[in-house]
Amino acid sequence: EIVLTQSPGTLSLSPGERATLSCRASQSISSSYLAWFQQKPGQAPRLLIYGASTRAPGIPDRFRGSGSGTDFTLTISRLEPEDFAVYYCQQYGGSPLYTFGQGTKLEIK
Partner 1 sequence: QVQLVQSGPEVKKPGSSVKVSCKASGGTLNNYTISWVRQAPGQGLEWMGRIIPLLGIPYYAQKFQGRVTILADKSTSTAYMDLTSLRSDDTAVYYCAGDSMTGRGWFDPWGQGTLVTVSS
User: Can you give the binding site for partner 1, defined by CB under 8 A?
Assistant: 32-35, 37, 44-47, 50-51, 56, 88, 90-93, 95-103
Nearer to partner 1, 14 or 44 (CB): 44
Give me the least distance between CB of 67 and partner 1, in Å please: 15
Which value, in Å, is the radius of gyration of the alpha carbons in the chain? 13
Nearer to partner 1, 16 or 41 (CB): 41
DSSP one-letter string for 42-107: TS--EEEEETTTEEPTT--TTEEEEEEEEEEEEEESS--GGG-SEEEEEEESSSSSEEE---EEEE
* Residue 22, φ and ψ in degrees, nearest 5: -110, 145
Give me the least distance between CB of 16 and partner 1, in Å please: 28
Nearer to partner 1, 11 or 17 (CB): 11
Give me the least distance between CB of 23 and partner 1, in Å please: 13
